[in-house]
Amino acid sequence: MLQFFTKLGYLCRESLSSLRRGGWMNWAAISTVTVLLFLFGVCLQTSWQLDSLLDHFGNQLEISVYLQPETQGETIVPMVRGVPHIKDVRTIPKERAWQSLLEELGIADVAEATEQLEGNPLVDELKAIADNAQKVPEIVAQLDRIPGVDRIVYVNEARERLQQIQQGLSWIGIVLTSILSLTAIAVITTTLNLIAVARRNELEIMQLVGATKVWIFLPFVFQGVIFGLVGGGLALALITTLRTLLSNLFFVKTDFLNFLTEGLKLTSLQLSLLPIIIFTLGISVGMVGSFLAIRRFSLR
Partner 1 sequence: MLEQQEKVSTSTSTSAKSKQPEVFQQKTLPTEVMIRLQDVSKVYANGGSCLQNVNLNLKRGDFVFITGASGAGKSTLLKLLYGEELPSAGRVYANGCDVNRLRGDRLAKFRRRMGIIFQDYKLIPNRTVAENIAFVLQAQGKRQQEIDRRLIPTLKMVGLADKAEYFPDRLSGGEQQRVSIARAIVGTPPLLLADEPTGNLDVENATQILRTLQNLNTYGATIIVTTHDRQLAALSERPVLQLHQGHLYWVKKP
Please choose, out of 79-87, 88-96, 142-150, 207-215, the segment that lies near partner 1 by the rule CB under 8 A: 207-215
Nearest distance from C-beta of residue 235 to partner 1, angstroms: 33
Q: Which is nearer to partner 1, 205 or 252 (CB)?
A: 205
Q: What span, in angstroms and rounded, lies between the C-alpha atoms of 217 and 211? A: 10
> Inter-axis angle of helices 213-250 and 2-22, to 10 degrees?
70
> Using CB under 8 A, which of 64, 104, 113, 215 touches partner 1?
215
Asked if 202 is part of the footprint of partner 1 (rule: CB under 8 A), the reply reads: yes
Q: Does 6 bind partner 1 (CB under 8 A)?
A: yes
Selection from 211, 295, 229 nearest residue 7 by Cα: 211
Contact status: 206 vs partner 1 (CB under 8 A): yes
112 binds partner 1 (CB under 8 A): no
Task: Indicate the residue among 78 and 210 with the shorter CB distance to partner 1.
Answer: 210
Cβ-contact 248, 264 below 8 angstroms: no
Give the list of residues 6+ apart from residue 163 with CB closer than 8 angstroms, or none.
54
Rounded to an integer, what distance in angstroms lies between the CA atom of residue 26 and that of residue 189?
11
Say whether residue 3 binds partner 1 (CB under 8 A): yes
The smaller minimum CB distance to partner 1, of residues 109 and 202, is found at: 202
Give the residue with the Cβ less far from partner 1, 47 or 207. Answer: 207
DSSP-assigned beta bridge partners for residue 65: 126, 152
Q: Closer to partner 1 by CB, 14 or 104: give it.
A: 14
Distance CA 185, CA 32 (A): 9
> By CB under 8 A, is residue 296 in contact with partner 1?
no
Instruction: Report the run of H or E that residue 260 belongs to, with start and end.
Output: helix 255-264
Asked if 256 touches partner 1 (CB under 8 A), the answer is: no
In the bound state with partner 1, the residue whose beta carbon lies nearer, of 9 and 137, is: 9
Measure the CA angle with vertex 110, ends 109 and 113; round to 5°. Answer: 90
Q: Of the ranges 85-93, 174-182, 197-205, 222-230, which one interacts with partner 1 (CB under 8 A)?
A: 197-205
Q: Establish if 298 lies at the interface with partner 1 (CB under 8 A).
A: no
Choose the stretch contacting partner 1; rule: CB under 8 A; options: 77-85, 145-153, 213-221, 233-241.
Answer: 213-221
DSSP state of 134: G
Query: Does 194 interact with partner 1 (rule: CB under 8 A)?
Result: no
Instruction: Give the Cα separation of 122 and 106 in Å (integer).
Output: 17
Question: Who contacts 261 (Cβ-Cβ below 8 Å, separation ≥6)?
Answer: 247, 250, 251
Contact indicator for 123, 94 with CB cutoff of 8 Å: yes
10 binds partner 1 (CB under 8 A): yes
Q: Which of 80, 57, 47 is nearest to 273 (CA)?
A: 47
Q: Are 136 and 158 in contact (CB under 8 A)?
A: no
Residue 4 binds partner 1, judged by CB under 8 A: no
Q: Which stretch binds partner 1 (CB under 8 A): 2-10, 151-159, 167-175, 185-193?
A: 2-10
Contact positions vs partner 1 (CB under 8 A): 2-3, 6-7, 9-10, 201-202, 204-216, 299-300
